[in-house]
Structure 1
């Protein structure tokens, strides 16, 4: 039986109690994270807020039990259960982060149960541990609970996506029918012109911009052919179609992705220019729905991908590669020295 089936059975048979038990036991001993069950709880109809709160209470109480075990059973039992390395790493972690370590473990994929035991071993104040757990766990569980709720309402989301498309696409006039296709078609020429100008003025930034746009292209086309969503005009009737994109998949919007990648990148070149391009990118995004070639969610995905890719331009990738290359080289040398000894 897979986790999906187990989650379904727990929710059907035990409801919130099942979420509590899983969250409680995971916080001090059992290895399966509660997230999949919280997602399942919301997916199968339980209230996401209540699920998240119940899971947080369960995890907090379970964490306190783990704290108690760590405090009473000490180092030796911990080492048997989790290994000596985790003890040493945990000590360093606590010395560095303190209560923030509990928050980090609560909200991240770090093994929370290990942190719970270590909190008891290293005698962290119980109140601080409890507060740290709640601060870390509640946002995480709310996020996964609502993710499950969204998955459980995919049909509703799809209906909303279509409704919003029809709302935008059906409200047209003769002026916008001229303007919107033009805006939509400016993306590739404007990208080419912008790259050329920036390469002349700032070659280093221009090369980085090309790299970021190339990354965006890889991501968007990977998603396009992985998801393979048909264009609105191929499945819906009475679409006000002003551009034709053939049978190429719809999700995400390529024009929107590249427009927002360019605009976000340019914010790190010149804020004024970047803001102007951002306004242009918003019009591009709207135009793709208006001309009938994309759903609003295609455009939204393009905006997100574009902003994320554009943000990456501020990272000096070459420096990053060199930094890690030096780190790896140093690590290999140290390993060789240890072996020789």
Structure 2
């Protein structure tokens, strides 16, 4: 089941309009959508290594702008849209655990958790709810989102062909590891 999807994404990643799809997914993931942009960014960078840094910058910028929308949802629309998103994704337990820590060490938590593949929308919306200073939010988001995607870019830059071979050979293992990392990131909210 995963092989056809992987091949489909890899074929689409070489298309001229793929960058717009990736940017849209990255924007949406930072504010309301559950699908991370990595599933497009990595195959696109592997298919066209010369565009790795361009794709990475576009993905990070789109994520940053999506985070601003997430912040606005928390700041202005939490009672309507924010609550709906938290209900839809079952984020209430994570939110309550995160809110306490966020009030104490918000900027540091935003940077540290923003680098991980946990749902960034939770961080952005919570920053808006907490009425975090927008300049501090933007600075922390720039550090977090660019760091997150640049880590991927550096790995792909130095180990691109090996990464592609590993993904193609052990697609199920790679997918399982990504799920474990995402679930681990979500569970870390309960521990903080």
Q: TM-score, normalised by structure 2?
A: 0.71
How far does the alpha carbon of each residue in 1:63-110 deviate from its partner, in whole angstroms, 9 at most, with x for none? 001111111112454333224323312311312321112112220132
Q: Which has the larger radius of gyration?
A: 1
Residue in structure 2 matched with residue 26 of structure 1 by the alignment: 29
How large is the Cα RMSD of the aligned pairs?
A: 2.7
> After TM superposition, what 4+ stretches of structure 1 lie above 3 angstroms from structure 2?
146-154
What CA distance in whole angstroms lies between the structure 1 residues aligned with 2:45 and 2:25? 15
Find out whether 1:44 has 2:17 as its counterpart: no
Do the aligned residues in 1 keep the contact of 2:103 with 2:130 (CA within 8 Å)?
A: no
Number of the residue aligned with 2:61? 57
Taking the aligned partners of 2:24 and 2:8, their CA distance within structure 1 comes to 17
Normalized per residue, the structure richer in helix is 2
Shift of 1:4: 5.0
In 2, are the aligned partners of 1:45 and 1:152 still within 8 Å (CA)?
no
Unaligned runs of 5+ residues in structure 2 are 163-169, 171-192
Within 1, Cα distance between the matches of 2:46 and 2:56? 13
TM-score normalised by L of structure 1? 0.42
Work out which structure has the larger RCO, using CA pairs closer than 8 Å and 6 or more positions apart in sequence.
2
Deviates more, 1:39-48 or 1:115-124: 39-48
- For residues 15 and 38 of structure 1, the distance between their equivalents in structure 2, rounded to whole angstroms, comes to 9
2:97 to 89, 93, 96: 89
Provide the rounded CA distance (Å) in 2 between the counterparts of 1:114 and 1:2: 27
1:129 deviates by 0.9
1:68 aligns with 2:72: yes
Residue 277 of structure 1 corresponds to none
Q: Which runs of 5+ in 1 are unaligned?
A: 155-226, 228-341
Structure-1 separation of matches of 2:39 and 2:6? 8
Cα distance, 1:42 vs structure 2: 0.8
Q: Per-residue deviation at 1:148? A: 3.6
What number of residue pairs does the alignment pair up? 158
